[in-house]
Structure 1
Amino acid sequence: DRGIHSIASHGIENPAAGRLSVMHAPTPKRQTPSAVVLGFIGRLNTHVCRPMMHEQAGLYHSYVHWEFPPKDVCHDSSLPEGVSPCWRPAMLSCDLNLCPTGSDPSSYRLYQSLQQGSVPVYVYDYRGAWIPYRGTQGDIRNGLGFVVPYNGLAKLMERLQREGFNQGNVTQMRRNIMRVKDEHFTPEGVMLQVQRFLEAPSANASNLRCCA
C-alpha cells in the first residue's frame, strides 16, 4: 500500500502557462462519479476521433486536458528534481486516464499508465480493441481499467455514476495494477512472458496467447 500512497499523493506544480485546458461543453456539465478526476494528457489533432472523445469527456465536471512540450519537466516527489517529464505527474494526479488509440490501433499511453499504476480508459476506434494479455489476469478488463469505443465514453461515465464508482474503487484498481504490472507491463516482465510462452506454449505458464 505504500506504493499506492505515493502514487495517490502526487501533485503538479505550476499547472498554468497554458498547459491545462478544461473543456467547456455547450451543454450543462454532468456530475463526474464521486468527483473522480478524468484526465487526458496529449494532443487532440493526431486522430480524427480524439476531438469526439474530448467533447464527450468535457461533459463532466472533473475532466482535465493537459498538453506539454516534450522537453518540459515538472516537480515529481518520486524522482530527482528536473528529470520527470510533465506528463508523468499529470497522469498520476488523475484517477482515470484516457488512453486513446492514435495512428496505430494500440495505445502507447495505455502502457505508460499501467507501468505507473494509473487506471487507464482505453478508447478504441473502428479497428477494434487491441487488448494485451486478453483473457488472462493481465487483461485490463480484469479489474485494471476500462475499454470503450470512441462513441461509448459517455455511456461508461453514466454507468460508473449509477454504480457509485468512487475513490475507493480507484484505489482498489491501482492495487490490482501494482500486483501484476512488474510481470506484464515492464520490459523485463514482457520478456519473461515471452520466455514462458516459448518454453511451454501449451502450458499456460505465460499470459501471452497466440491470436493467429
Structure 2
Amino acid sequence: MLQHRIIPVTPFQQNCSLVWCEETGRAALVDPGGEVDRLLAAVEEAGLSLEKILLTHGHIDHAGGVGEIVRRCGVPVEGPHQDELFWIEALAEQSRMFGFPRAEPFLPDRWLDDGDRVEVGQASLQVLHTPGHTPGHVVFFHQETRLALVGDVLFAGSVGRTDFPRGDFGALVASIRGKLFPLGDDVRFVPGHGPMSSFGEERRSNRFVADR
C-alpha cells in the first residue's frame, strides 16, 4: 500500500510529498523544492529508505532541492517530461529571480512520457503528461489508493498559472478535463500548494474547470 505525507517547503509553502511503500519501506520525495535537511530528516525519522526523486515540473519551488539530494544521497531522478528541460537548465537563474538559495544543477535520469509508470517499492504509479502550467508537467496517479500528485496543474478552487514561458491556458484546461477528471470523482489529490481536494469537488465547484 502506498502511504504519503505532505511536507510544505520553501517560502512558497510548496507541498513536497514523501511517499512510500508500506511493504518495503522504500520511499520517494515528490517535488523536493528546498529545505533538504528537513526532508531527509523526515525520511530518516519514518524509518524509510529513499530510493528516488519524482518531479512533476521544473519550477524552483518544486525542483530547487533536487541537485543537493542527488549529491548527498546518490538517488536517481524520474520526471518530468523532456519538454521541461529548459526550466531545469534555468534553475540557477530562477534561484536568483525568486531569492532562493542557489539550486545545484542536475539532469533527470529518466524523462517520463504519458502512460509510463514509476515504481516506489512495490507500488506502481501511472504517469500522465499534463501540459499547460508548463509544457513538460506530469502527474502521478496511484490507482489502488485513488491518490494523485498533481503539482501545479490543479488546486482546491483554482488552477495553475499559465503566464510563465510556454504556459498555455487552453492546454491546461484540456489536461484537467481530459486526463485528470476521467480518473474519477473519488480521486483525492495533493496540489503543489494549499489543501488537498478531490476531482469530484473541483468538477462541482472550481470556477475555472467545473462542469457547466
The verdict on a shared fold, with TM-score over 0.5 as the criterion, is no
> Which structure has greater helix proportion?
1
TM-score relative to the length of structure 2: 0.33
Larger radius of gyration: 1
TM-score relative to the length of structure 1: 0.33
Q: Which has the higher contact order (CA 8 A, sep 6+)?
A: 1
